[in-house]
Chains A and B, each alone.
Chain A
């Protein structure tokens, strides 16, 4: 059924909405954020004011933003999807012109009170516009080539803009996000098989062309790809970080060295120990028990999100909630795989745990949408 078919009586109004909030999600979000604050406190050597306190403030702000978004009916957000997507594209373009360069890439817009990273925002607005698109699209047309092309273009525009920054990690996340939405909406499985096959074929062709007269890339470009895929070939650059991260993580053992006792994380070998590499600190100080517990928390969060998505009976809400769950999943799985040496080093933060304002705020806004869909869904009879 579509949002137009709601029986208004079944939707809670006013303060009654509070009763319908999915409190399990709130508890899980808070638990994960608390782990993050604890680790930030530890990484800064036992000081609140460096990272832990600002992070707490941002989480509080995020909670407020989440509740605000949650109390606005989901159909309002559906109508806003196009506008939100347009705004985030404009912001991405604005970064090209007024953005400040941080960490060797142009990603930020300084708003005065905070630094906004439009690429973070785009992850959610892309999910929104695609959910709205498939809500609108006649289900029978889902797999027709023309109607498949539209979401592909919608995805590739922000991907191209983000790649220009350049931010490979976020571009990949956007690409995955768009793909997942199309997959969930029911685009025929053959499309995906063809795309994956083409991608693999292209990569294989590029690599097979190496050292032949007709090689497709320049030598230095190959060397860059080598380092990207196998960091140990550049032991003083990216490879150095990843091997140190692995040592820190592995030396945690079963139960870890104890809170604030990690020697590896304390020796300043990681430049981003409070952002992308914070998982290693947790793993070193709390061992397998601690690291696995955090993974379990993420799994629980995603499971609860999927459950609420499947009990939403309108298409927009379901797709949106599932898309958000998938985005969250990509975040944490790529980050943890990266520090475990399973994935190349791309700048992807650990959601809710890594220090950073934009990512935290955007994720909380996304969960505001999830809550809104949950509160305003049709209940009882259909």
Chain B
């Protein structure tokens, strides 16, 4: 379509006219905008500046209350207590050093506190509150609050911090919390913003760290308006966080307290398990330490003392300590041999006090020998030669297999730190680990739980529970999270010949209850609570040729750390087992003298749900037991429970 020149010109003129009109209108709008901008930013700038200063919006996280940890009966073993502290905000304080100097006149601050605060202040953003001092008394807090006008940017605050009311009793089970470290942050892909709060504490060891996610809860937040000196003007809105989940342990507080006290200053470990469902009723490692020290930030001297202690208080020996199980391993050897069919229930072995194997002489613990022994007597009197013999017939691989079936040499999943796997040696392992063939001497050593075999007290307790119940019981430490019962694992039947099991149990019962048994002095008189068990004494040293030439060196002549470990595993009541116990006393010299009495006392306390009457003990021991009890420092059972906090 062609248009006339007149039309196009007219059109162009019209467009130009209208465009100029529109441009004019636009110019007017821009002028209005410019004037408004000038009005706001030049004429009224001071007013808006003031509003801005008075009207700063800040988002503060509200740390959730950490979940409480209870024992199986609801006693709080890890709680939160109120913690008064003073924080300082750099951008509000102005001259920080001046503010700290003034603060120092009001409350006690060490030079270290001041230096640390200055360091943190210079590192963090100007608006982040930095804690100057914590755990102040109410009086200190009141003094700071009263002098607030002279202390810009300094605010007293109340927070919650972790408190372990029973000190060392749960140090190894519950563990402790501590400040977030750089390495903690580095391990997480998407760190919770809570972790950025200075001095926020997270679980470092034990249940506290393994159940960290449940215990921590979710942060709340509040939007607040603060004025130029950091004073909160008003809260705009508030989103409550979620407190952490409460965790219920299977541990019984009274028993735990008793076990810890009974172990006393020994370097020892004890585990008490419910035979039926695997619930851990007590799990103690001694000596212990006060976890509250770590929550506060442990001092250098205290830490040195813990590290230098040769009884290793920081180690949780119940799951981290791997010991040669000694004679407590003999049930494994016996069952393996019986199941393999290489020995009958009534077959006897002659024990002259030693056995020569592959040109080496292996001694029985009893120099004179036991004479002819069958299974029950071999267990009760702990005759080594019997096991040397049957182990050779059965071979190490079948022993190792039985060991696994009974719960040794594997990591039982409990929410505790650094759980050891122990060691079930077999041919393949030795080839891979040492590049050597398995030798028959190794089998002989392993048959009595020496040599390469290593087990933890927890594993020994599991083994005992399995022997007592005939089922593959697995341990459980967490009873419930937020009231939700955690799964129990009573285990499948082990599938072992019931006749063999009965005989093994008979042997264990005879160990404690027959006059020739190695734990006879630790028997329980009360017929309804009779115990069955097995003692063990395991060497931690190699006897040198010189020592052998001089004759047997008596244990008590050796330095402490070269003495034998004392072990005991047991269950009770012998006829209808309810609990299984394992005890390891490091360098305690003899299983029957150092470990079995602990096993008995702990079993009695567990079955009785308290201190048993003296009539449960053999009459000859009652006076001694009574005296020992007086020295035990037990918590009174009705320690007041203040729930959340001590104000």
Contacts and interface: CB of A to CB of B under 8 A. Distances in A.
B57 A183 contact: no
Contacts of B3: 1-2, 139
B23 interface: yes
A342 B19 CA distance: 25
Given A264-B56, A267-B57, 4 more contacts: A184-B18, A249-B41, A288-B42, A318-B12
B11 interface: yes
A254 interface: yes
Interface in A286-345: 287-288, 291-292, 295, 299, 302, 306, 309-310, 313, 315, 318-319, 322, 326, 329, 333, 336-337, 340, 342
Contacts of A302: 26
Interface of B: 1-3, 5, 7-8, 10-12, 14-16, 18-19, 22-23, 26, 29-30, 32-34, 36-38, 40-42, 44-45, 47-49, 51-52, 55-59, 236
Contacts of A287: 41
A139 B15 contact: no
A140 B23 CA distance: 24
B490 to A, nearest CB: 51
| Central interface residue in B14, B26, B38, B58, by most chain A CB within 10 Å | B26
Interface in A259-279: 263-264, 267-269
A283 B32 CA distance: 17
Contacts of A250: 40-41, 44-45, 47-49, 51-52
Contact of B15 (A292, A322, A340, A342): A322
B591 to A, nearest CB: 65
A267 B33 contact: no
Contact of A2 (B8, B16, B30, B236): B8
A375 B15 CA distance: 20
B29 A291 contact: no
Given A183-B18, A342-B36, A253 B41 contact: yes
A333 B29 CA distance: 8
Nearest to A5: B2
Contacts of B29: 329, 333
Interface of A: 1-2, 4-5, 136, 138-140, 180, 183-186, 236, 244, 246-254, 263-264, 267-269, 283, 287-288, 291-292, 295, 299, 302, 306, 309-310, 313, 315, 318-319, 322, 326, 329, 333, 336-337, 340, 342
A247 B42 contact: no
Nearest to A279: B37
A280 B135 CA distance: 44
B37 A295 contact: yes
A309 B19 contact: yes
A322 B37 contact: no
7 contacts: A1-B3, A2-B1, A250-B45, A254-B45, A295-B33, A295-B34, A336-B33
Given A244-B57, A251-B48, A326 B22 contact: yes
B22 A180 contact: yes
Nearest to A268: B59
Given A251-B49, A267-B56, A288-B42, A184 B19 contact: yes
A291 B37 contact: yes
A234 to B, nearest CB: 14
A252 B18 CA distance: 38
Given A180-B22, A337-B33, A340-B36, A139 B10 contact: yes
Contacts of A252: 41, 45
A139 B7 contact: yes
Contacts of B49: 250-251, 253
B6 to A, nearest CB: 10
Nearest to A264: B52
B635 to A, nearest CB: 50
Given A184-B22, A333-B29, A315 B41 contact: no
Nearest to A315: B11
A329 B26 contact: yes
Given A287-B41, A292-B34, A319 B48 contact: no
B626 to A, nearest CB: 69
A251 B30 CA distance: 21
Nearest to B36: A340
A249 B48 contact: yes
Contacts of A291: 37, 41
B89 to A, nearest CB: 14
A253 B42 contact: yes
* A-B pairs with lowest CB-CB distance, top 10: A250-B48, A251-B52, A288-B41, A253-B45, A186-B14, A251-B48, A250-B40, A269-B57, A251-B49, A267-B57
B48 A247 contact: yes
A269 B59 CA distance: 9
Contacts of A244: 55, 57
Contacts of B55: 244, 247
Contacts of A5: 2
| Central interface residue in B40, B42, B57, B59, by most chain A CB within 10 Å | B40
A1 B2 CA distance: 8
A21 to B, nearest CB: 22
A333 B30 contact: yes
Given A244-B57, A251-B52, A268-B59, A299 B30 contact: yes
A289 to B, nearest CB: 9
Given A250-B47, A306-B19, A340 B40 contact: yes
Contacts of A319: 15
A283 B37 contact: yes
Given A184-B18, A251-B49, A268-B57, A288 B8 contact: no
Contacts of B47: 250
A250 to B, nearest CB: 3
